[in-house]
Amino acid sequence: MLKYTTYTMKSIFYNSDEQRIRAFWRISLVTVSIFTLFTFWVFLTNDFIWMMSGLAVITFLVILFACPALDKRPFKEMGFTLSKTWAKDLGAGLFIAALTMSLMSLVMWQFGYLQINISPDAEMSSEFI
């Protein structure tokens, strides 16, 4: 026979067994922090590249500070470690992305949706029709 154990939640905000805030609230706080800081960043810049660069930096910094403060775990446990496996995964991901983009461009070029013009006098240009 199966035995069922009953678990009573003492608080919806704090997990006393793990001695930290519950996962929903941790994720919510990090998400709201990223969106809030990014909203302020958008008002400071109008360039798309700067916006996306700012989003990457903001996300990294929020996660860097939230790990020890909210999650009570070191930053390395979030998966940000450099290793041989990481390098293989990066290489495979870059290869698959380059192959996919090349195949899409080749198909578009073959069906006449993409023109690539190379002239010795001007820079290389492509036009999506």
Tens digit of each residue's pLDDT (9 = 90 or more) over 87-121: 999 999 999 999 999 999 999 999 988 887 777 66
Using 50, 70 and 90 to split pLDDT, how confident is the model at 7? low
Using 50, 70 and 90 to split pLDDT, how confident is the model at 122? low
Annotated domain spans of the chain: 9-80, 82-129
* Nearest residue to 61 (alpha-carbon basis) of 30, 91, 95, 98: 30
Interior CA angle at 109 toward 103 and 114, to 5°? 115
High-pLDDT (> 90) share of the chain, % = 46
Q: What is the mean pLDDT of residues 5-11?
A: 71
Return the higher-pLDDT residue of 93 and 48. 93
